[in-house]
């Protein structure tokens, strides 16, 4: 036996020992059984590579507190307000107005899991196309007087990206405080010149969790997928729209559908605190003078207001490896479980955990009309095949599946019974629900929810309904692609 043969055997045995040890750790940590099995299969099928993938993508930092925000002033304030609202909800049966009483448990869940205070807002506007959302954001930025806090997963150095850059520079020259947070992976191709143009004009530009090839860290799996714009602490935007030409004009797709919301009111304070907490993670520094960033704090007496078009109640929910609970996943689960008549869901990527998948199937089997809209074509092949691997069990449960065929539908929305809805940055996939920093809003207003449902019906005219009989006859090669992609679902 040659030296290299002996070396190969020793190396393989060493890998096998480490893989077995890692498998024991996976089982010991009591993860989701499907996820645990998937990781074990990946390690066995992809020697060396599989172990590397687990070490960098399979860790759960929510429990290990790698990202810690306890003790931060903004977090303490959130906790105080949430606890005060919880106290009133427990002790005063008449505290909630009539239209919110059916959602008391859901509201309390979000208060406990995410410290998501319930705010009253004078206006919430929905944008169903990236062009409209971006135009509205640019308009709000142009009107800023004190500060602009902008955060995006993707910023491209293209026409839309440069329009944003020029607007921010213009406002900074006027004396407006401008801060920008971008994700290092999402903005991987953003040029140094673009960044330099911002910083040399007095704009605070912060890179979330930089990736360094020579000093790899498993933190790079935890990306900041939030899209936030706060202007003067009174106007806020969240949703699915990033900063790139394709969100404005469709790019390589015929059309790029998305959903974004603008909020004016108390809930903007929750968006602000999310931005400032992310800023703290990056530079480990807080503001001493905070009042100007919170001109519309949540009032303890807002529940006394009567519901109406100009009193729209909303909770802003954040989730990520810094949170004690998978708050957005829990909110999705509770909302779906609460449905009595219908559920409308739009998501570009559908790789849910077992809890969400079962909630959807149980609702459909129980007589709730469940409609899910996916994109016929995706911007990521592996995500597309993994998404389609769930179609069979959805159809068997009676879920109506629509494939958006005019372009790409990047929206992340859920509407329940035409009474309340959820809009934000979080997809119904493992990455959004377990790994990413995400933000979403749950809006308790029938008018807003009905707008979401009306748009779903309009979108369905651009869809191909997925029929069980036709789906069962899809090619064997597609079924194989789906099966292999499903094994990689923990990574997607």
Catalytically annotated residues: 225, 227, 232, 410, 412, 417
- CA 266 from centre of chain: 21
Whether the Cβ atoms of residue 255 and residue 247 lie closer than 8 Å to each other:
no
User: In whole angstroms, what is the distance from residue 439 CA to residue 486 CA?
Assistant: 26
CA 483 to chain centre: 26
Q: What tokens appear for 390 in the block?
A: 């769930």
Angle between helices 33-45 and 49-57 (to 10 degrees): 150
As a whole number of angstroms, the distance between CA 346 and CA 240 comes to 12
* Terminal C-alpha separation, the chain: 43
Given the structure tokens 């790019």, which residue do they identify?
A: 251
Residue 218's nearest CA partner among 337, 56, 83 is: 56
């Amino acid at each position: 036996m040659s030296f290299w043969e002996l070396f190969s055997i020793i190396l393989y045995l060493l890998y096998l020992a480490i893989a077995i040890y890692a498998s024991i750790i996976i089982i010991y940590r009591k993860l989701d059984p499907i996820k645990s099995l998937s990781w074990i299969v990946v390690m066995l099928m992809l020697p060396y590579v599989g172990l590397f993938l687990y070490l960098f993508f399979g860790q759960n930092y929510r429990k290990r507190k790698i990202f810690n925000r306890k003790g931060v002033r903004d977090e303490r304030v959130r906790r105080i307000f949430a606890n005060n609202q919880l106290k009133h909800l427990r002790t005063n049966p008449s505290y909630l107005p009539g239209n919110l009483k059916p959602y008391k448990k859901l509201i309390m869940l979000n208060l406990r899991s995410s410290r998501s205070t319930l705010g009253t807002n004078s206006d919430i506007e929905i944008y169903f196309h990236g062009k409209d959302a971006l135009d509205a954001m640019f308009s709000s930025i142009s009107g800023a007087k004190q500060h602009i806090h902008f955060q995006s997963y993707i910023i491209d150095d293209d026409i839309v990206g440069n329009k944003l850059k020029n607007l921010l520079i213009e406002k900074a020259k006027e004396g407006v405080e401008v801060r920008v947070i971008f994700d290092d992976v999402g903005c991987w191709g953003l040029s140094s010149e673009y960044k330099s143009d911002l910083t040399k004009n007095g704009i605070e530009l912060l890179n979330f969790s930089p990736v360094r090839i020579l000093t790899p860290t498993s933190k790079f799996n935890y990306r900041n997928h939030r899209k936030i714009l706060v202007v003067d602490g009174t106007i806020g935007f969240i949703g699915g729209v990033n900063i790139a030409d394709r969100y404005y004009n469709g790019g390589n797709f015929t059309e790029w559908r998305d959903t974004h919301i603008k909020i004016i009111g108390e809930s903007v304070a929750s968006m602000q605190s999310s931005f400032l907490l992310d800023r703290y993670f990056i530079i480990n520094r807080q503001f001493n003078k905070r009042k100007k960033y919170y001109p519309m704090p949540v009032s303890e007496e807002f529940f006394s207001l009567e519901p109406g078009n100009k009193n729209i109640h909303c909770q802003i929910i954040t989730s990520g490896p810094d949170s004690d609970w998978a708050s957005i996943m829990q909110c999705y689960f509770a909302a779906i479980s609460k449905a009595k008549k219908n559920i409308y869901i739009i998501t570009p990527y559908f790789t849910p955990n077992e809890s969400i998948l079962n909630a959807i199937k149980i609702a459909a089997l129980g007589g709730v009309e469940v409609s899910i809209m996916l994109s016929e074509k995706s911007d990521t092949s592996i995500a597309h095949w993994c998404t389609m691997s769930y179609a069979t069990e959805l159809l068997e449960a009676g879920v109506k599946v629509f494939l958006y065929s005019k372009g790409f539908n990047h929206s992340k929305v859920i509407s329940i019974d035409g009474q309340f809805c959820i809009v934000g940055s979080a997809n119904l996939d493992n990455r959004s629900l377990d790994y990413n920093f995400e933000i979403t809003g749950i809006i308790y207003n029938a008018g807003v929810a009905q707008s979401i449902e009306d748009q779903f019906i309009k979108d369905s005219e651009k869809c191909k309904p997925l029929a069980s009989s036709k789906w069962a006859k899809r090619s064997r090669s597609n079924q194989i692609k789906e099966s292999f992609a499903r094994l990689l679902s923990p990574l997607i």
